[in-house]
Amino acid sequence: MNKRIKNIVTVVLLAAFLFGFGAWAALKPADSLSLSERRRLKQLPAVRMDAAEAIKMGLSRDGGLLTPCEIPQIDRAFLESLVNARYQERAARVMGLYLTDYTYEELSGFAENAYGPEKFDCDAVAPVRTVDETTHCLELWHGPTSAFKDMALQMLPQLLSAALRKTGEHKTVCILVATSGDTGKAALEGFKDVNKTRILVFYPKDGVSDIQQLQMQTQEGDNVGVCAVVGNFDDAQTGVKRLFSDAALRDTLAGRGFFFSSANSINWGRILPQIVYYISAYCDLLKEGRIQKGDPINVCVPTGNFGNILSAYYAKEMGVPIRKLICASNRNNVLTDFIQTGVYDRNRSFYNTMSPSMDILISSNLERMLFEFTERDDEAVKTYMEELSANGRYEVSEKVKKQLGRHFAAGCCDDAQTQARIAQMWKDHHYLIDTHTAVAFHVLDQYRAETGDETPTVVVSTASPFKFCDSVLGALGATELVQGTGILDQLTALTGEPVPAPLAALKDKAVRFDQVTEKEHMADRVLEMLK
């Protein structure tokens, strides 16, 4: 099946401004690209490379993203062969379909290291919890930082370290990360003290939960750095994109023995491990007799940057019987509007919500899907991205709108509805969920009421409720909140649910990083760290 899949990952450099460059251009001010730059970039050929090289780069120098040359196909027999397999084996076999320049033995060892009991508090790694006959919850927060980002970011450092060896790279890689909350801590923990790596995380000041911030500020490791950015996540993400495209900065750091890569979902090495858990969830439902062979499921995903639900789309395209991908947004509902209308419009108010990891108006991974929906028509995607850069909006073709409607549904949820859903899930099912998962459950009910579709559905639970104690406690009726880490014990006292060990350990950790910078000075922070 996968013998024909050679050099499965390509860097989309945009010979004619391929879609990934469009993503970068959309994040830059309209006047920051000169005519000469545009002409030069239009002349660049598309470049293909082995997976190791692509993972090492993370993002092309002109801002291009990475995408599979082909999406490998799996059949019913492949799924059945994974039903009784451990998660580690499932991960190695699925990733091996894409990473053809890695051996199965390598990937199996990486999976054992990434998802072993010393990292995850659950043997299943990504367990599926049944809520009712047609609703199941995929819990992705049993790792070292209590968020779904661990599923990819415990694997990525190993893929990257191997990539450095395979490509003969002698420089030290500097991982740049923009985070809306969970990616930052997960990346820091994954890359902590990894040889030949440095990692610097930027997060929006006042745009993450207190626990998320404390997790990053207390991070251990000699190769890590953390800095808050004045502004929102889009400001931090735009800033990181500019750092990647800053030729003078790259040259300076090359002289110091460093090069840039990324741990955000713009790196294909982030997306790939996330495909695994959708395949795994389907296998678990088969194993438990919740569905029969070949039965379709729906998947409901709370998402802001579109990476998590994009991974589900890839799983669907590989052959997993997923009928509908339900995109759940909070009040920053740019994705909901896009899926429902075909118009992407970031010209709107930005809201800080109680589900901060979804407080995003520029969804980087959307361009990967547009590339597929336009039948890999880089000119069409180029036009959309130029419109987004110039006007803050674009409208896709009727052909793309039909594809959106075929694959996706969407809905949104405000903070009051989020808290009501947390309370309802606790009252009706004695199931404690976080704010992002609550958004997904609310949107699923919206979808079912509107469509009558009772297809068995997997709701993706992206974080432990203990990462958002204040909002969860408020939803459960608490009026006076304990300050600091004591709020973790307050939630336990109210619900009887134990504090995850990694979060409980925060009580004894000292703050190491409290620096704040303007977005215009992010390059200075990088240079300070990489002296």
Task: Give residue-wise pLDDT tens across range 277-296.
Answer: 999 999 999 999 999 999 99
Identify whether residues 357 and 421 lie together within a single domain: yes
Question: Among 216-220, 309-313, 387-391, which is the least confidently predicted range?
Answer: 387-391
Per the CB < 8 A criterion, the answer to whether 328 and 303 are in contact is yes
Identify whether residues 400 and 495 lie together within a single domain: no
CA 64 – CA 385 distance, rounded (Å): 12
Q: Is there a domain that residue 46 lies in?
A: no
Identify whether residues 314 and 455 lie together within a single domain: yes
Question: Among 4-13, 58-67, 143-152, 289-298, which is the least confidently predicted range?
Answer: 4-13
Q: Average of pLDDT values for 231-245? A: 89
Q: Average of pLDDT values for 45-71? A: 78
**Domain housing 491:** 468-500
| Distances, alpha carbon 242 to alpha carbons 25, 38, 219, in Å | 10, 16, 25
Q: Average of pLDDT values for 155-173? A: 95
Identify whether residues 360 and 482 lie together within a single domain: no
pLDDT at 219 > cutoff 80: yes
Q: In whole numbers, what is the pLDDT of the chain averaged over residues? A: 89
Identify whether residues 341 and 433 lie together within a single domain: yes
Q: Is there a domain that residue 416 lies in?
A: yes
Q: Is there a domain that residue 169 lies in?
A: no
Q: Is there a domain that residue 492 lies in?
A: yes
| Backbone region of residue 391 per phi and psi (left: phi > 0; alpha: psi in -120 to 50; beta: other values) | alpha
CA 13 – CA 64 distance, rounded (Å): 5
Q: Is there a domain that residue 351 lies in?
A: yes
Identify whether residues 345 and 472 lie together within a single domain: no
Question: Among 65-79, 292-306, 342-356, 377-391, which is the least confidently predicted range?
Answer: 377-391
Q: Which two tokens stand for residue 3?
A: 């013998």
| pLDDT bucket at 276, cuts 50 / 70 / 90 | very high
Identify whether residues 358 and 482 lie together within a single domain: no
Identify whether residues 489 and 399 lie together within a single domain: no
Identify whether residues 402 and 286 lie together within a single domain: yes
Identify whether residues 446 and 308 lie together within a single domain: yes
Question: Among 14-23, 200-209, 248-257, 478-487, which is the least confidently predicted range?
Answer: 14-23
Amino acid at 322: I
149 is catalytic: yes
pLDDT of residue 385: 83
pLDDT at 274 > cutoff 90: yes
Question: No. of H helices and E strands in the chain?
Answer: 24, 16
Question: Among 241-255, 282-296, 488-502, which is the least confidently predicted range?
Answer: 241-255
pLDDT of residue 1: 45
Which phi and psi angles does 326 have, rounded to 5°?
-100, 115
**Secondary-structure breakdown of the chain: helix, strand, coil percentages, each rounded to the nearest 5:** 50, 15, 35
Considering 461, 482, 510, which residue would you say is the last residue of a domain?
A: 461
Identify whether residues 334 and 478 lie together within a single domain: no
Per the CB < 8 A criterion, the answer to whether 221 and 192 are in contact is yes
Q: Average of pLDDT values for 56-79? A: 83
For the chain, percent of residues with pLDDT exceeding 90: 78
pLDDT of residue 377: 86
Q: Is there a domain that residue 420 lies in?
A: yes
| pLDDT bucket at 25, cuts 50 / 70 / 90 | very low
For the chain, percent of residues with pLDDT exceeding 70: 90
Q: Is there a domain that residue 377 lies in?
A: no
pLDDT at 428 > cutoff 90: yes
Number of domains in the chain: 2
Exactly one of 28, 42, 119, 149 is catalytic; name it.
149
pLDDT of residue 61: 61
Q: Is there a domain that residue 384 lies in?
A: no
- Bridge partner residues of 459 (DSSP): 137, 300
| pLDDT bucket at 225, cuts 50 / 70 / 90 | very high
CATH of the domain at 86: 3.40.50.1100
Task: Give which of 326, 330, 367 is closest to 25, Cα–Cα.
Answer: 367
Identify whether residues 472 and 406 lie together within a single domain: no
